[in-house]
Amino acid sequence: MLLSFNNVANIHNLGQDMEYANKFKEFFDIKFPRVRATDPVESFEAADSIVESASKHWNLISDCLKEHGPLGKDGIAGLTGLDGNQVARRMNEMKVMGMVFLTGKTVKSNSGRNEREWTV
């Protein structure tokens, strides 16, 4: 299957019966770069260890946005129990896969700064 914008967008429209992580695995064999070639060995080990957790995070984030509506990173983190850094890393991955979308709005973060608002 060729990777195209339409294919990525269609992931979002598939039935609710499949988990988002399974949709991802079915359509693409993409590995997100979580480490640079110049990073130390420990960084490569850490990147390998997050692979399983990432799909769990995607499901938590997706379920949170479905239940609570559009939110910023800190809102998602607070409702899912994930760390803000974990949410931030997964949001861009999920955006690339067509699982989440930016609303074009901003919301206040926990520190009072503007952050992007996300939706499914």
Class of domain 5-119: mainly alpha
Residues 6+ positions from 5 with CB-CB distance below 8 Å: none
What is the model's pLDDT at position 17? 42
Provide the pairing of β-strand 71-72 with 114-119: antiparallel
Per-residue pLDDT of 65-95, as tens digits, reads 999 999 999 999 999 999 999 999 999 989 9
Residue with the two structure tokens 């960084």 = 43
Q: How many residues does the chain have?
A: 120
Output 8 or 81, whichever has higher pLDDT. 81
